[in-house]
Amino acid sequence: MAGERILVVDDEAEIVELLRDVLVAEGYVVDAAPNATASLQLIRENIYDVALLDFNLPDMNGVMLHHQIRQMDAELGARTIFMSGLLQSDGNLGYYMSQSGGFLAKPFDIHDVLRQVRIVLGDEG
């Protein structure tokens, strides 16, 4: 299904631009935030179907942000896909997998991003 609204939270402008271009080309509506504070404001103002959330943000780590998202919108909290480039040293992979819709290791293949989004939305098994 296309037309779902996706929130991308990442402080790397190149990643945001890539994700926006690919997701919009697939028919999704995409908003982006460069940090946790801006993402929380967008969540207050909009309803999102999926969140793509970088774990390492300048103002808050992904676990703390995810806790706040779950308090604001439990459904979005369950439909959060974490992204991180620190997989080898990241002790939070278990959290990612148990508390959210998925995980993407950076650098990621764009086909994996689309597959994860479809899975979270229930469009692909």
* CATH number of the domain bearing residue 36: 3.40.50.2300
Answer yes or no: is pLDDT of 38 > 70.
yes
Domain count, the chain: 1
Mean pLDDT, range 77-90, rounded to an integer: 77
Question: Comparing 78 with 98, which gets the higher pLDDT?
Answer: 78
Reduce the secondary structure of 48-105 to three states and give it as a string: CCEEEEECECCCCEHHHHHHHHHHHCHHHHHCEEEEECCCCCCCCHHHHHHHCCEEEE
Mean pLDDT, range 12-23, rounded to an integer: 96
Answer yes or no: is pLDDT of 44 > 90.
yes
Answer yes or no: is pLDDT of 99 > 80.
no
Answer yes or no: is pLDDT of 125 > 60.
no
**Residue where the block lists tokens 């919108």:** 73
Domain span including residue 24: 5-121
Q: How far is Cα 18 from Cα 88, in angstroms, rounded to an integer?
A: 24
